[in-house]
Amino acid sequence: MNPICLCLNFLLVLGEGARRLHVSAAFNAKAKVAMSRFEPGTSISYEKLHENIDIVRKRLNRPLTLSEKIVYGHLDDPMGQDIARGRTYLRLRPDRVAMQDATAQMAMLQFISSGLPKVAVPSTIHCDHLIEAQIGGVEDLKRAKEVNQEVYNFLATAGAKYGVGFWKPGSGIIHQIILENYAYPGVLLIGTDSHTPNGGGLGSICIGVGGADAVDVMAGIPWELKCPNVIGVKLTGSLSGWTSPKDVILKVAGILTVKGGTGAIVEYHGPGVDSISCTGMATICNMGAEIGATTSVFPYNHRMKTYLNKTGRADIAALADKHKDDLVPDKGCKYDQVIEINLSELKPHINGPFTPDLAHPVSEIGAVAEKNGWPLEVKVGLIGSCTNSSYEDMGRAASLAKQALDKGLKCKAAFTVTPGSEQIRATIERDGFSKILRDVGGVVLANACGPCIGQWDRKDVKKGEKNTIVTSYNRNFTSRNDANPATHAFVTSPEIVTALAIAGTLKFDPETDYLTAANGEKFKLEPPNGDELPARDFDPGQDTYQHPPAESGSVMVDVSPTSTRLQLLEPFDKWNGKDLEDLQVLIKVKGKCTTDHISAAGPWLKFRGHLDNISNNMLIGAINIENDAVNKIKNRLTGEYGGVPDVARHYKANGLSWVVVGDDNYGEGSSREHAALEPRHLGGRVILVKSFARIHETNLKKQGMLPLTFADPTDYDKIRPDDKISITGLATFAPGKPLKGVVKHGDGSQDIITLNHTFNENQVEWFHAGSALNRMKELQ
């Protein structure tokens, strides 16, 4: 069958004069007419990037890191912008917006509320989060389309109405689609998912945000970002044997911990970079979200050029070559912190359980597990996800599966495989990897997030049953994958997952230990091998992209008033001009409180477009310091115990506003703005903690909440679960000026504490208006 030529039309801005260039890429589209995946007006403006970089470099009078070049190269006002790492807020002009289907619902509902007719920048929606893993890819996808028809129809019609491209269910995971189609060296892209930094593997600055941030960009408003610090990771040596790109970020996570990258971009550099494939670099950048980093990025090199060529973007690679000096760090640039890793000495790692920064060499995990009483038997091995589902990943896993099959073995553990995109699925099917992985005992799931985000109808263990799983995913918070708090989840590379699934135990080091073949002989697995990219080019599979129509006046976007899954938004109330008096402590949270604890995923994903219904999951996973219980707090009006959302609703109905008190790195994890919307919807006004994760703090500000931190972290200990707290000084609320907290105890005593914040002038206006969306409407 003749290849169909897919014309990607986009404007290449080259200095004063702009010219149109048609870039053609040959794809075997299986007789389907493939439409352009680049919306009209998509621009690659290296000349503008260079011009801005030049302005800023002369102003700062110093060499720039790569991340500084790309970020400052997108400044709205490069001449006048105040630039100070870690202090000032930058006003930026991102090139593109991407939204996954769970977050796109609220983002599009907010955009509809803005009253604007069309998005101002190229934007896409990706249907990847709502497909539950049960049986296998074909069956699960079919069921998802039926179950989620209302939501998919809303997203498809909203995309068509407002000029947003729509990737249908089955297309693949948002981050893999971005890497294959939209990321390129030097682009600034924001996405409504915390793992948007995956695109850093192609030299892009890709940043995870909440939906309200996406609405700003889609509305054509400059987007704010606190000027990031820059952490340099210098790589020397080269990867080989069992060591993979995943081991780089597992090692870094062990060094920096889950909050060590907060407020910073992690920039990889050094001679070791060239030994890592483009998709391997993406893996490393993807999981940078687990250290709290704003994003991560690699410098442009020949590995990226090869990937661009293989994915039909040779013309972009040629342009990047011409502008390479702007796509690598300046010589002599300074980092705020430098970590050095010798790839030749790096050993395979496995991190967990319950947190992605608990790093262990694979050779030691068996002994550590025995010492800590973690289950040694591996119940399930899961490979794929947005972090590790490339052609190379699948090929290396298949090479190990083939060795086991040749010796008459299959996996002792259950084994699942998640292709990252329809293109990956079709290509590994064509090249035989899928058959090998199925033959060894694997089940190939849909091209979607699946178990990685809790979309897993797991049947092999009961809730509460202690067990171990190993995954090539990025997160392993308590209950993250299967809603079972007793599941010990470990994160590692696809190669190690496959080896441990074959062996069936954590007490197996594939570098040194032997397996027993079907005939009784002992053998060792040879180190995995796999091609970086397919020799026969990619097979794109089915065409799953819907381009927004040029004329959309007749497109209707319906939201039924009786729907349980979609709900039009009502604006939040404005600040009344007074201090916040006698806020009841709703819950004092003990220990780690991620966005999974605040707004759980899994079965709750179906309510992501209905604010009132999803608010029934607010903080149901947080630990109450008063009784060490989850979702059990005392209602101070009735004296009875109830669920957190229920008590919050009762307070709201009785006119009692409330405050949540939390620990360090509150809101770690996913970008889900529902974790900020729900407290606001149920009557919360303040979240008071020791420290925040970046995205969650911004999300709270966007919704008119007050995210505050203890000036003295030990003041956390002064708060009692039955306290009331007044926030004073709001009449003169201003950047850099702390507020006061009057803590009123049940015995009549008080404590006066100082409360810090990171609001700038624009963000103070969000608070006054009641939300950023309210403020946007005021300015129209």
Q: How far apart, in whole angstroms, are the C-alpha atoms of residue 47 and residue 605?
A: 42
| Averaged confidence pLDDT in the chain | 93
Q: Is residue 123 part of a domain?
A: yes
**CB neighbours of residue 116 within 10 Å:** 16
**What is the model's pLDDT at position 43?**
53
Token pair belonging to 620: 């149901």
pLDDT for 492-512, tens place per residue? 999 999 999 999 999 999 999
The burial class, CB within 10 Å (0-12 / 13-18 / 19+), for 215 is: buried
pLDDT band at 23 (very low <50, low <70, confident <90, very high): very low
How many H helices and E strands in the chain? 23, 35
Pick from 34-43, 313-322, 518-527, 763-772: least confident: 34-43
- Residues with a known catalytic role: 128-129, 193, 475, 670, 672
Q: How many domains does the chain have?
A: 3
Final residue before a domain boundary, out of 287, 310, 342:
342
CATH of residue 138's domain is 3.30.499.10
Residues contacting residue 146 through CB under 8 Å, at least 6 positions apart: none
**Residue range 607-629, pLDDT digits in tens:** 999 999 999 999 999 999 999 99
Query: Residues 713, 756: contact at Cβ < 8 Å?
Result: no
* φ/ψ bin of 6: left (φ > 0), alpha (ψ from -120 to 50), beta (otherwise): beta
> Is 532 domain-assigned?
no
- Backbone φ and ψ for 125, nearest 5 degrees, come out as -115, 140
* Whether residue 390 is found in the same domain as residue 469: yes
> Could you tell me the residue range of the domain that residue 760 belongs to?
580-779
Residue 669 confidence class, pLDDT cut points 50, 70, 90: confident
Is position 142 within any domain? yes
Q: How confident is the model at residue 601, as a pLDDT?
A: 87
AA letter at 231:
I
Whether pLDDT at 18 is above 50: no
332 plus 441 within the same structural domain: no
235 in the same domain as 326 = yes
Residue 780's pLDDT is 79
pLDDT surpassing 50 at residue 35: no
Question: Across residues 375-381, what is the average pLDDT?
Answer: 98
355/449 same-domain check: yes
DSSP characters for 594-639? Answer: BHHHHB--GGGGGGTB-HHHHGGGBTTTSEETTTTEES-EE-TTTS
Q: Which of 523, 552, 568 is the last residue of a domain?
A: 523
On whether residue 547 sits in a domain, the answer given is no
CA distances from 278 to 281, 521, 596 (A): 5, 39, 30
Least confident of 242-256, 394-408, 572-586, 662-676: 662-676
Checking if the pLDDT of 40 tops 70, the result is no
Asked whether residue 778 carries a pLDDT value surpassing 70, the answer given is yes
Q: Which residues pair with 708 in a beta bridge?
A: 688
Within-domain flag for 587? yes
Band (44; pLDDT cuts 50, 70, 90)? low
Query: Do 442 and 516 share a structural domain?
Result: yes
Residue 206, H or E segment: strand 205-208
* Residue 359 and residue 312 share a domain: no
Q: Does 128 fall in a domain?
A: yes
Read off the pLDDT of residues 302-326 as tens digits, 9 standing for 90 and up. Answer: 999 999 999 999 999 999 999 999 9
Q: Cβ distance 687 to 662 under 8 Å?
A: yes
Q: What pLDDT is attached to residue 756?
A: 98
Q: Does a cis peptide bond (omega within 30 degrees of 0) precede residue 353?
A: yes
Torsion of CA 678, 681, 687, 691, to 10 degrees: 30
Here the tokens at position 374 are 């973690």
- One domain for residues 219 and 104: yes
Region 277-305: mean pLDDT is 97
Question: Do strands 487-491 and 515-516 pair parallel, antiparallel, or not at all (unpaired)?
Answer: unpaired
- Partners of 753 in beta bridges: 741
User: Residue 133 domain-assigned?
Assistant: yes
Instruction: Express each pLDDT in 684-693 by its tens digit.
Output: 999 999 999 9
Residue 602's pLDDT is 82
- Kindly provide the residue ranges of all beta strands, DSSP E only, lying in 461-511, ordered along the sequence: 467-471, 487-491
Q: Taking the model in full, what pTM does it have?
A: 0.90
Q: pLDDT tens digit string along 454-466?
A: 999 999 999 999 9
What is the average per-residue pLDDT within 174-181? Answer: 97
Q: Answer yes or no: do 333 and 382 share one domain.
A: no
> What is the pLDDT at residue 558?
84
Residue 324 is classified by DSSP as: G
Tell the burial category of 710 from Cβ atoms under 10 Å away from its Cβ (0-12, 13-18, 19+). buried
The answer as to whether 119 is a domain residue is: yes
The partner residues of 585 in beta bridges, in order of sequence, read 659
Q: Which pLDDT score, from 0 to 100, does residue 2 have?
A: 31
Tokens for 334, please give them.
């300074």
Sheet containing 17-27: which strands, arranged edge to edge?
Answer: 17-27, 4-14, 43-44
For residue 166, the SS3 value is strand
The structure tokens listed for 420 are 């990252």
Q: Does 335 share its domain with 398?
A: no
Res. 33: pLDDT tops 60: no
CA end-to-end span of the chain, whole Å? Answer: 53
Q: In this predicted model, which residue has the larger pLDDT, 399 or 114?
A: 399
pLDDT at residue 37 is higher than 80 = no
- Judgement on whether residues 518 and 604 belong to the same structural domain of the protein: no
> b vs e for 387-405, b when ≥16 Cβ sit within 10 Å of the residue's Cβ?
bbbbbbbbbbbbbbbbbbb
pLDDT digits (tens, 9 = 90+) for 734-774: 999 999 999 999 999 999 999 999 999 999 999 999 999 99
Over pLDDT 90: what percentage of the chain? 91
Listed residues 342, 361, 385: the one ending a domain:
342
Residue 776, helix vs strand vs coil: helix
Mean pLDDT of 372-381: 98
Q: Are residues 317 and 371 in the same domain?
A: no
Please identify which residue in the block is written with the tokens 């604007």: 116
The whole-number average pLDDT for the span 652-677 is 95
272 with 237: CB under 8 angstroms? Answer: yes
Q: What average pLDDT does the segment 322-339 reach?
A: 98
pLDDT digits (tens, 9 = 90+) for 56-84: 999 999 999 999 999 999 999 999 999 99
Does residue 28 surpass a pLDDT of 60?
no
In this structure, the answer to whether residues 642 and 588 fall within a common structural domain is: yes
Residue 275: phi and psi, rounded to 5, are: -90, 0
724-737 b/e with 16+ CB inside 10 Å = b? bbbbeebeebeeee
Q: Which CATH number fits the domain that encloses residue 625? A: 3.20.19.10
pLDDT band, residue 672 (cuts 50/70/90): confident
Query: Is pLDDT above 90 for 128?
Result: yes
